Structure 1
Amino acid sequence: MSDLKDRVKAATAEDDQEPQQSGVLDIAARDDHLKWLQSHGTYFTDALPRHVDKAHFTAVALSVLPNLKNCTNQSIMTSLLACARFGLEPDGRQAAIIPYKQTATFQPMYQGYIELMYRHPAVDTVHFGWIREKDEWDFEPTAPSPRDFRHRPRVDLTDEERGAVILSYAFAWIGGHRSQVITLNRQQAEEIRDKYSKGYAKAIREEKNDSPWQTSFDAMWAKSCVRRLVKVVPTSTELTELINADDDADDTSAAPAVIRGTVVAREEQGPGEDSPQEQGWPTAAEPGSGAREGGEQE
């Protein structure tokens, strides 16, 4: 939305008018998370798509605020409004809000991409999956769809017994027809990381271990696979904007903020203040663990 920048300014201006308000919103110390959210509720509800339940979004946002106790008002508002703008819950599954010292940062997850794909009227279902070493599967790209791909997980075995993950895949059903199957093995995911991730390159240069590619490789592997699916399904302006926001979040040295061209820039930080707090990144969820995936295994 073009007026999202104005919403952030208006919301943070209200906080700045409070007496003895510091530059950091110490939400945990104030112990009034819900009151703070309710006082800014109109900004979120105006940004939320109509199909998203406002009370549920507020409840999810409330649950993440304690993790952002050292983050600034502006970055918290910007990240929550980004979630609201795309209609994604900041639950660590559709999206996450990661604290980088005093800056809260919006990060979409692979389930968030799938959620936005579902909103296109031509998309029937979207499926993402992991293939493990002992699973039964076959992929023959030259065979007619849907006989070109088959995956039968070993449901009689635990994940550990099934072996290590060797491949991620994603596909969609569109108007009764299955899309191309996108596959991504570990080596290909590492190549994407090395070629495109500015955050990972920065972590390597600075000899740090704070890039999500280092702390939550599977989550980034899954998201990279689903992002490739975007190229073969009906797209939308909203989905394109989510990709831009995702790229901006990865570029930790960039001045642009979370939604390119619509949200205020990140605030100035001192040396060493751009590292995620420990345990900040959620892990990639296993297929069938509650995320909206759609479709049955073939």
Structure 2
Amino acid sequence: MSDTLKDRVKAAGAPAEDAPAVVDLALNDQSMQWLQSRATYFTDALPRHVDRVHFMSVARAILPSLSKCSNQSITSALLACARFGLEPDGRQAAVIPYGDTATFQPMYEGYIELMYRHPRVDSVHFNWVREKDAWDYEPTAPSPKDFFHKPRVDLTEEDRGPVILAYAFAWIEGRRSQVIILNRPQAEAIRDKYSKAYKKAENNGRKDSPWHTDFDAMWAKSGVLRLRKVVPTLHELAELVRADEDADDAGAVPAVIRGTVVARDEQGPGEDGGAEQTWPTATQPGSGGHEAGDTE
């Protein structure tokens, strides 16, 4: 089992040592054809501001890592990425293979991306404080004097010491929001209290939940999620949170992402038999289906 989400993606796509290379290339070519035949389905779900060609290029790049996953789960995961306008690049969102199931996993940069889309939000910032950095936090002081962080640029990240804090804030119409600070014990408390996937992975001994394989990524996401409480957000961000919670509730196996149900089981590449595919209607973030507003 790989240590990180990115390593798991790479490991899942690695060819077997005794498999002829020509077979892998043939399977890969079939998968690419399968994806291309459904390109319109994904691109039609993208928000208007997302470049469709680039999104499909990123999707093609990760497809080899999903070679053991069912086409239905790949479709559902990529469509979830498309609906929220997040690239499956491992930074905004990831598509992680769990056995034969491709799983949509939003990352903290994806949440930041959705925060940026609110017209009142000027910028969103996230960073880590390391042990040897200069920093101070005085919550009773007026903004922006309440928080200070100066990284040790003369040192490497390793020499700066271990991470001790994650923090995030936003600038909203020229004013800085409250600074959200999350230390490691607080992140662990969130994990222990709320993550069903973590508890399931602990109980079955597999330790393969995102909290096990990439703790820092989940720590960062927890901090950014707290930031949404103090900044104006669009309705799509609340939907992304629910989709993320659904996947976690399923215990590292994705539940149906709202609005992305595939009409019927898909066949493998080249096995359609000439039958016409029936695709569901996908909502398009930013298309007017929801009005901007604050979420709790």
What is the TM-score of this pair, normalised by structure 1? 0.77
RMSD: 2.1
Q: What is the rounded CA distance, in whole Å, between the counterparts of 1:259 and 1:234 in structure 2?
A: 24
Which residue identity is paired with 2:169?
F
**Would you say 1:93 and 2:99 are equivalent positions?**
no
Q: What is the rounded CA distance, in whole Å, between the counterparts of 1:258 and 1:176 in structure 2?
A: 39
Q: What is the rounded CA distance, in whole Å, between the counterparts of 1:79 and 1:119 in structure 2?
A: 22
Structure 2 portions without partners, runs of 5+? 1-23, 266-296
Q: What is the rounded CA distance, in whole Å, between the counterparts of 1:264 and 1:257 in structure 2?
A: 12
Give the 3-state SS of the residue equivalent to 2:153 in structure 1: coil
* Alignment partner of 1:181 out of 157, 176, 179: 179
Q: What is the rounded CA distance, in whole Å, between the counterparts of 2:264 and 2:147 in structure 1?
A: 44
Shift, 1:264, TM fit: 5.0
* Alignment partner of 1:56 out of 51, 54, 59: 54
Conserved 8 A contact 1:130-1:168: yes
Structure-1 residue corresponding to 2:75: 77
Structure-2 residue corresponding to 1:294: none
Q: What is the rounded CA distance, in whole Å, between the counterparts of 1:177 and 1:185 in structure 2?
A: 25
Structure-1 residue corresponding to 2:207: 209
Conserved 8 A contact 1:257-1:265: no
Which residue identity is paired with 1:110?
Y
Conserved 8 A contact 1:130-1:165: yes
Shift, 1:170, TM fit: 0.2
Shift, 1:252, TM fit: 2.6
Conserved 8 A contact 1:28-1:66: no
Shift, 1:34, TM fit: 3.4
- The alignment-based identity, stated in percent, is 72
Aligned pairs for 1:216-255 (under 5 A) are: 216-253=214-251
What is the TM-score of this pair, normalised by structure 2? 0.78
Conserved 8 A contact 1:246-1:258: no
Structure 1 portions without partners, runs of 5+? 1-25, 268-298
Aligned pairs for 1:127-206 (under 5 A) are: 127-206=125-204
Q: What is the rounded CA distance, in whole Å, between the counterparts of 2:135 and 2:252 in structure 1?
A: 42
Q: What is the rounded CA distance, in whole Å, between the counterparts of 1:154 and 1:66 in structure 2?
A: 39
Shift, 1:266, TM fit: 12
Aligned CA distance change for structure 1 residues 266 and 115 (closer, same or farther; 3 Å): farther
Aligned residues: 242
